[in-house]
């Protein structure tokens, strides 16, 4: 059981002060009856709370899928550049989500955001060994030798890249798919550079078994479904 003002300030954009004002105006109902006071106790599992007739489901944590466009930093704020959090509607910003891992400013595609530190920790944990799948366009055609180089892993000055999978589009060998289980700085671009190719376009299309929802336009977001969360054991 929690207080009505806490329930609504956790689960909606209203502050506790605003909740008190709404209650005074009879704009809040609990199980169909006008709430009498902002400190009345609510059962988060059973009670139905509405503000101006719209039901507010109780939740503390949110899990968001973003189809990231180019030009945005994977950050919550920055002095110079736009950040991915700018793309969220106010009702999601209210939960103070942050990106799970990073995509480069010029990389597009699947980025998750959450305010659940444990979820972030779980997905970022190296022992989870989650594969991330990318689609890339290169300046030169990829070759069979490149597939072997990726599969052997690569040594860089600051890190070693574990074996990765490279698939080549048979119709156009400048188009490739890369799967890596880590997320080292510029990893896909650097692995491609190592085999003599520059990445001209990069898009993440999956994290483990979670695929980017192709109906989600670039720059748009939606919350993850419970089936999608279950992919990560959540």
The binding site for ligand URA (CB under 6 A) comprises: 103-104, 107, 186-189, 202
Residue closer to ligand URA by CB (options 125, 198) is: 198
Residue closer to ligand URA by CB (options 104, 169) is: 104
The nearest distance, CB 96 to ligand URA, in angstroms, is 23
Name the 3-class secondary structure at 73.
Answer: strand
Query: What are the start-end ranges of the E strands in the chain?
Result: 2-3, 28-30, 33-34, 41-42, 49-51, 54-55, 63-68, 98-99, 108-114, 132-138, 154-155, 160-161, 165-168, 175-180, 199-207, 210-211, 221-223
Pairwise CA distance, residues 116 & 114, whole Å: 5
104 is annotated as an active-site residue: yes
Residue closer to ligand URA by CB (options 61, 156) is: 156
Name the 3-class secondary structure at 7.
Answer: helix
Point out which residues pair with 5 in neighbouring strands: none
The nearest distance, CB 185 to ligand URA, in angstroms, is 8
The nearest distance, CB 150 to ligand URA, in angstroms, is 13
Point out which residues pair with 30 in neighbouring strands: 33, 49
CA torsion, ordered 214, 174, 170, 188, to nearest 10 deg = -60
From the list 104, 106, 116, 213, the catalytic residue is 104
H and E: helices and strands count for the chain: 7, 17
The nearest distance, CB 33 to ligand URA, in angstroms, is 51
Q: How many residues does the chain have?
A: 234
Q: In the chain, what is the greatest distance between 2 CA atoms, to the nearest angstrom?
A: 72
Residue closer to ligand URA by CB (options 42, 188) is: 188
The nearest distance, CB 186 to ligand URA, in angstroms, is 4
Catalytic residue IDs: 104
């Amino acid at each position: 059981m929690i207080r009505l003002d806490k329930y609504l300030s956790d689960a909606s954009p209203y502050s506790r002060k605003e909740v008190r004002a709404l209650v005074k105006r009879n704009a809040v109902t609990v199980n169909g009856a006008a709430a009498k006071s902002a400190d009345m106790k609510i059962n988060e599992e059973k009670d139905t709370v509405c503000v101006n007739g719209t039901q507010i489901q109780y939740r503390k944590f949110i899990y968001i899928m973003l189809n990231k466009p180019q030009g945005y930093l994977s950050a919550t704020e920055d002095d110079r550049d736009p950040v991915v959090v700018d793309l969220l509607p106010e009702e999601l910003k209210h939960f103070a989500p942050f990106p799970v891992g990073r995509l480069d400013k010029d990389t597009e595609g699947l980025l998750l955001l959450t305010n659940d530190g444990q979820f972030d920790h779980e997905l970022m944990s190296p022992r989870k060994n989650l594969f991330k799948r990318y689609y890339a366009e290169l300046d030169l055609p990829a070759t069979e030798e490149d597939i072997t180089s990726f599969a052997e892993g690569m040594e860089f000055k600051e890190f070693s890249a574990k074996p990765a999978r490279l698939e080549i589009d048979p119709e156009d060998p400048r188009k490739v798919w890369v799967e890596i289980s880590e997320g080292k700085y510029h990893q896909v671009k650097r692995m491609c550079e190592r085999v003599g190719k520059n990445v001209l376009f990069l898009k993440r299309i999956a994290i483990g078994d979670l695929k980017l929802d192709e109906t989600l336009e670039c720059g748009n977001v939606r919350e993850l479904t419970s089936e999608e969360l279950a992919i990560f054991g959540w």
